[in-house]
Amino acid sequence: MAQSYDTLLKRAKEALPAPVSSGERFQVPEADLIVEGKTTVLRNFLDITTAINRDPDQVLQYLLRELGTAGALEDRRVVFKGKVTAPQVADRVKSYIDTYVICSECGRPDTRLVKEDRVAILECDACGARRPVKVVKKAAKVEEAVLAEGKVYEVMIQDIGKKGDGIAKKDKYIIYVPGTTKGSIVKVFIEKIAGTVAFGHIHRE
């Protein structure tokens, strides 16, 4: 005896996989980085932003701010000034996803960012939860903000002073580093701190 259309339809629905809004299927491509001269290129940037369903410009601004460097979107790639490592990018991408993508209630990535009175709200299509986006500052940031004599810090030379010394900034400090060029990222040994001005030299490992 032939089964009714309704019975067949019910069986077909029961055979379907679980709803697409499942956290297990959420996979973000690993950062594909190459060094080109004095720049670092993230070749699959748009693949990453597509996977997390977020505006590339917003993600780029977040990465640049968190990495403390300059950069620009070129086609599907992002070109960073100076040297940036894959672990650094991966850490910042994970931080962005935790803050701007993953629902804090159900842990799924099926969310949308909306603005209400200049406040970013994360809306989850899977469970209906809504929450304002809160940017969590890592404890490590507080430690890095303190400059100490006799220690080494990685900084970007943002300008060149009148005497030819490179000028970097870290938190409230201005650091003078001789023998450096604008835009370069260097490791600096801090020799002396006077108020909010510090003097150092390139650290050779």
Q: Assess contact for 76 and 46: CB atoms under 8 A.
A: yes
- Position 98 scores a pLDDT of 92
**Is 122 part of any domain?**
yes
Residue 92 and residue 30 share a domain = yes
The CATH number of residue 192's host domain is: 2.40.50.140
Q: Which residues pair with 189 in a beta bridge?
A: 152, 201
Q: Confidence band (pLDDT; 50, 70, 90) for 22?
A: very low
- Mark whether 120 and 148 lie in a shared domain: no
Q: Is the pLDDT score of 9 beyond 80?
A: no
How far apart, in whole angstroms, are the C-alpha atoms of residue 83 and residue 74?
A: 17
Same domain for 26 and 126, yes or no, is yes
Is residue 125 located within the same domain as residue 175? no
Residue ranges making up the domain that contains 197: 143-202
| Closest to 43 measured CA to CA, from 9, 112, 89, 2 | 89
Whether 126 and 149 map to the same domain: the answer is: no
Asked if residue 29 and residue 118 are part of one domain, the reply reads yes
- Say if residue 44 is in the same domain as residue 72: yes
Judge if 156 and 105 occupy the same domain.
no
**Displacement of CA 106 from its chain's centroid (Å):** 23
pLDDT band at residue 204, thresholds of 50, 70 and 90? confident
Q: Is 94 within the bounds of a domain?
A: yes
Structure-model confidence comparison of residues 20 and 151, the more confident one: 151
Do 109 and 150 lie in a common domain? Answer: no
Q: Which amino acid is at 15?
A: A
Q: Is the per-residue pLDDT at 64 higher than 90?
A: yes
27 and 119 housed in the same domain: yes
Mean pLDDT throughout 170-186? 92
Q: How far is CA 129 from the centre of its chain?
A: 24
Domain end (from 80, 99, 132): 132
pLDDT in tens, 126-157: 898 998 987 655 544 434 447 889 999 999 99
pLDDT band at 162 (very low <50, low <70, confident <90, very high): confident
pTM of the model: 0.55
- Do both 124 and 192 map to the same domain? no
**What band does 10 get if pLDDT is binned at 50, 70 and 90?**
low
Amino acid 171: pLDDT: 84
- Cα dist from 31 to 55, 58, 98, 169, 173, whole Å: 17, 17, 17, 27, 32
Whether 62 and 147 share a structural domain: no
**Mean pLDDT confidence for 59-74:** 93
Cα(87)–Cα(101) distance, integer angstroms: 20
Our count of domains for the chain comes to 2
- 87-111 pLDDT, tens digit per residue, is 999 999 999 999 999 998 898 999 9
**Predicted local distance difference test score (pLDDT) of residue 1:** 46
